[in-house]
Amino acid sequence: MNAAYCSLDQLLEQSDVISVHTPLTDKTRHLIGRESLHRMKNGVYLVNTARGEVIDEAALVEHLKSGKVKGAGFDVYEFEPEITKELFLLPNVVLLPHIGSATIETRNKMSEMVARNVIAGLEGERPENLIPEMADLF
């Protein structure tokens, strides 16, 4: 697929579409903020299906209005359950409820994953889906 590792700054500067997939941690809160948005290419599309607070929505609204960000699609929001009102008014934004995983197959696999992680933890083993901040516990 001709993929290569690059820094976040390189990714922001080179990508036409940025899709965010990260847990919310102290390091990722507002990972996409005013400075990150400014670094992005003109006309970029931004998708967030990770966690709402990863994106500074006030800064995003400014960049959507200016055209720097051509469009955005979210199913998670910074102030859930509230949604930044300006996002509703912009024609270049698609807002959905957080239902991306709402299929029988996905929910079954999620339940199985949780069960495996609980069993591993109870048996003193390392669960398979730890975020880095939890790694020291196992």
26-38 mean pLDDT: 96
Helix (H, G, I), strand (E, B) or coil at 18: strand
Greater model confidence, 80 or 44? 44
Structural domains for the chain: 1-100 (3.40.50.720), 101-138 (no CATH)
Q: Is the pLDDT of residue 137 over 80?
A: no
Closest CA to 85 of 58, 66, 47, 64: 58
Please tell me the predicted confidence (pLDDT) of residue 18.
Answer: 97
Please tell me the predicted confidence (pLDDT) of residue 4.
Answer: 87
Q: Which residue do the tokens 């959905």 mark? A: 96
Residues taking part in catalysis: 51, 80, 98
Q: Is the pLDDT of residue 136 over 90?
A: no
Report if pTM > 0.85. no
* Residues 36-56 pLDDT 10s: 999 999 999 999 999 999 999
The answer for residues whose C-beta is within 8 angstroms of residue 20's C-beta and 6 or more apart is 31, 32, 46, 47, 48, 49, 50, 54, 55
* Residues 83-95 pLDDT 10s: 999 999 999 999 9
Greater model confidence, 123 or 3? 123
Q: Is the pLDDT of residue 130 over 90?
A: no
The mean predicted confidence, pLDDT, of the chain is: 92
pLDDT class for 135, splitting at 50, 70, 90? confident
